[in-house]
Amino acid sequence: MAHTPRIALSIALALTLSASPLAQASSALAVEMGCTNCHSNAFHPNAPSFQQLADESAKRRGETGAEDHLMSELRKPRLLGRIGAHEHLSEESARALARWMLDGAH
């Protein structure tokens, strides 16, 4: 498979160059995963808005491990008031959503 590395490289390049289509994909993912049932929903004032979460995570933007940190914060089981939508996220979705929030959740 001589051309496999080249394909991987073009995927990596496409991901780097097309930040905004990726961000759109993640905001759609937030809706699809039910995140907006609580976050950025006036009827759930106890859940921070995505803008607040993005502002909070902005402190760690650019730090190594920022994405992993946010992913584990998100997926860790809470002792009180477990949140299924958090805990049931696949690693892949959690990473995409963490990256989206670190990028400002636009």
Q: How far is the CB of 70 from ligand HEC (least distance, A)?
A: 6
Instruction: Please state, in angstroms and rounded to a whole number, the distance separating the CA atoms of residues 27 and 7.
Output: 27
* Pick 66 or 74: Cβ nearer ligand HEC: 74
* Pick 11 or 28: Cβ nearer ligand HEC: 28
* Pick 66 or 86: Cβ nearer ligand HEC: 86
* Pick 13 or 23: Cβ nearer ligand HEC: 23
Instruction: Please state, in angstroms and rounded to a whole number, the distance separating the CA atoms of residues 22 and 28.
Output: 10
* Torsion angles phi and psi, residue 3, rounded to 5: -95, 0
* Torsion angles phi and psi, residue 26, rounded to 5: -75, -30
Residues in contact with ligand HEC by the rule CB under 6 A: 30, 33-35, 37-39, 46-48, 53, 73-74, 78, 83, 85-86, 89, 97
Q: How far is the CB of 106 from ligand HEC (least distance, A)?
A: 14
Q: Which of 78, 104, 96 is nearest to 22 (CA)?
A: 96
